[in-house]
Amino acid sequence: MSDKRLKVLIIGASGTIGAAVKEHLSERHDIITAGTQSGDIKLDITDPASIKRAFEELSPLDAVVMTLGKATFAPFSELEPAKLGESKHLLGIENKLMGQINVAQVARDHLTDGGSITLTTGILNEHPVPGSVSPSMVNGALDAFVKAAAMEMPRGIRINSVSPSVLRQSLGKYGPFFRGFKPVEAADVALAYSRSVESLVTGQVLKVW
């Protein structure tokens, strides 16, 4: 691989994973951070116009990393049939799923040749837990999107997803949902993002379990 210093946008750098990715990649690359409430630039992933404005302002970029996305944990018994706007699935579909997909689709048109896109999914689509129906669905859809989109990315642009297990740093909040799971360190998860940005892999789900 080239030793070229890359211009990398991290969306969600204030979170536990995002902060670890920023710390790891900033040793070798120029990092720009973005988020709804914090960062070098404000970016709302639920608003395509906001995404487009950010990329137009920052272009050209060599890589974009997404470590931001919300979905609803709820027992299956509470997931009632509903129109999309009234569904408990809406948060995950609008935020984590379409937010990341829209970022990828905008990035496709603004990244430099050979650039990279890295999305974030998670272990739950392969190893669900009680209450994870909605986030499991969203993670599975994102992993499938990455595999399909990789085949049609123009100009040598690559796309991957990183799928972490529960973080050790997040056990206080999420530990009860992940009994029997081996927690992973945020710094180890950051290595998977580095692989996506700095190697030649594409169309891959990089699991950190």
| Residue 182 DSSP class | P
Both tokens of residue 69? 């996305």
Q: Which residues pair with 11 in a beta bridge?
A: 34, 66
Mean confidence (pLDDT) of the chain: 96
Residue 2 has pLDDT above 90, yes or no: no
28-74 pLDDT tens trace: 999 999 999 889 999 999 999 999 999 999 999 999 999 999 999 99
Bigger pLDDT: 174 vs 136: 136
Residue 134 has pLDDT above 80, yes or no: yes
Q: Return the closest-CA partner of residue 15 out of 124, 172, 167, 204.
A: 167
As a whole number of angstroms, the distance between CA 109 and CA 96 comes to: 21
Residue range 95-123: average pLDDT?
Answer: 98
Q: How confident is the model at residue 3 (pLDDT cuts 50, 70, 90)?
A: confident
Residues 6+ apart with CB under 8 A from 174: 166, 167
Secondary structure (3-state) at 147: helix
Secondary structure (3-state) at 115: strand
| Residue 97 DSSP class | I
Q: Return the closest-CA partner of residue 114 out of 159, 145, 66.
A: 159
As a whole number of angstroms, the distance between CA 58 and CA 52 comes to: 10
